[in-house]
Amino acid sequence: MQAEREVVRFPIERVEPGARFDEFFEDEHERLFKALYFVTGNRHDAEELMQDAFMKLWEQWDQIGRISDPTGYLFRIALNGFRMRRRRAKTALLKVAPVTEHPDPFAEADMRADVQQLLVGLTVRQRAALVLVDLLGYPSEQAARILRVRPSTVRALATQGRKAVRATEGARDA
C-alpha cells in the first residue's frame, strides 16, 4: 500500500540469496529509470545507464546475500555511471573547441514537462537528492547510502533544491 505522498512503492523486503534476478529487475527497473531520467534529463541516457547498472548487478548476483541493500547498490552503480560519463564528457569538451549546439525540436518538446523544467535549474546533487527523497520516497538515510554522503547532506541538498524550485516557480508566475 502506498502512502499518500509516496510517488513510487518503497521496497521494504531484503533480497535473499537465491532470489531471481528477473523478479528483482521487474520490481526495480521502473523506479530506476524514473530516477535516472530526472537526473539526466534524457531518456536515451537514462536507459543506457539503467542497463549498465543492471548488468553490473547481474554480474554480482551470485553474491547478492552479501550486499546489505541491493536497491541502494543498484542506484549507486547507476549514479556513479552518470558521474563517470559526465566527467568524461567534460574532459572531452575541454580538449576540443566549443561547438554551438542546435536545439532538437523533439528534445524541446520533452523539456516542456513542468517537473523536469523545474529540476533543470538545480545542481546534479540537489536534483539527485530531490528525486530520491521527494519523488521516489526514500528516507534520507537510504538516499545518503545511495549517494554516498551523510543523511544530513541529503536533507540539506533537498532543502536547497526545494528552495530553488520555489524561486523558479515564483519567477515563472510573475
Which tens digit of pLDDT belongs to each residue from 97-151? 665 667 776 756 665 566 777 787 889 999 999 889 988 889 999 999 999 999 9
Confidence at residue 135, expressed as pLDDT on a 0 to 100 scale: 80
Around 27, how many Cα atoms within 13 Å sit in the side-chain half-sphere? 16
**pLDDT at residue 9 above 50?**
no
16-25, 77-86, 103-112: least confidently modelled range? 103-112
152 pLDDT above the threshold of 90: yes
pLDDT on residue 10: 43
**Distance of alpha carbon 19 from its chain centroid, rounded?**
25
Is residue 2 pLDDT above 50, yes or no?
Answer: no
For residue 112, how far is the Cα from the chain centroid?
19
Could you give the C-alpha distances from 170 to 51, 114, 118, 173, in angstroms and in order? 37, 13, 11, 5
Burial of 95 (0-12, 13-18, 19+ CB in 10 A): exposed
pLDDT at 30 over 50: yes
pLDDT at residue 56 tops 90:
yes
CA terminus-to-terminus distance, the chain: 39
Name the CATH architecture for the domain at 104-174.
Orthogonal Bundle (1.10)
**What average pLDDT is seen over the chain?**
81
Taking alpha carbons only, the member of 165, 60, 83, 91 closest to residue 122 is 165
Residue 98: the pLDDT is 60
Lowest mean pLDDT, pick from 30-34, 65-69, 144-148: 65-69
- Top mean pLDDT of 3-7, 93-97, 138-142 is at 138-142
CB 151 within 8 A of CB 120: no
